């Protein structure tokens, strides 16, 4: 049985802190999908994950490169599938989704057929000018306990 959990953040710093808390619970091979309107905070959320993985490089949106790779305590593969909506080819998704790092996918609906069985769906919604509602939906069994841990 899948259950969602959600929380609200009041500013980008709180979004980063929440993502950092999640990042500390991740292990190699984990896949996180990020959904939300443009400007909702998907890249800000990814910055928090990167911080938890001790990544020193600046994290920014991979819109034009599709995938950016960052080295830290675990590699972070930041994928933006926005431009892949028209007839996506398999560009080696399996290599990322079953890798030695954490894979974050923005606009996952454009590559849904390639997603692994277990992943964590993160939806970020506007809840005011700087406030955000972040909803976590575990898909498969792996992320059920992480969701419970984050909402303690």
Residue 98: strand, helix, or coil: coil
* pLDDT at residue number 90: 60
pLDDT at res. 146: 84
Q: What is the pLDDT of residues 50-101, one digit of tens each?
A: 999 999 998 887 766 778 899 999 999 998 887 666 555 666 777 888 889 9
- In the prediction, which pLDDT does 112 show? 86
The 10 Å Cβ neighbour count of residue 75 is 17
CB-side exposure of 107: number of CA atoms within 13 Å?
A: 18
pLDDT tens string 21-45: 999 999 999 999 999 998 899 999 9
């Amino acid at each position: 049985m899948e259950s969602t959990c959600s929380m609200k953040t009041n500013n980008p710093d709180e979004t980063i802190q929440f993502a950092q808390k999640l990042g500390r619970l991740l292990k190699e091979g984990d896949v996180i999908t990020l959904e939300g309107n443009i400007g909702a905070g998907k890249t800000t959320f990814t910055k928090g994950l990167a911080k938890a993985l001790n990544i020193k490089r600046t994290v920014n949106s991979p819109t034009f490169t599709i995938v950016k790779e960052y080295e830290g305590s675990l590699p972070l593969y930041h994928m933006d599938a926005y431009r892949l909506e028209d007839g996506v080819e398999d560009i080696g998704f399996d290599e990322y989704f079953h890798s030695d790092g954490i894979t974050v996918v923005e606009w996952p609906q454009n590559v849904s057929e390639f997603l692994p069985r277990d992943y964590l769906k993160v939806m970020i919604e506007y809840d005011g000018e700087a406030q955000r509602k972040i909803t976590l939906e575990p898909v498969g069994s792996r992320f059920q306990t992480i969701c419970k841990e984050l909402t303690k």
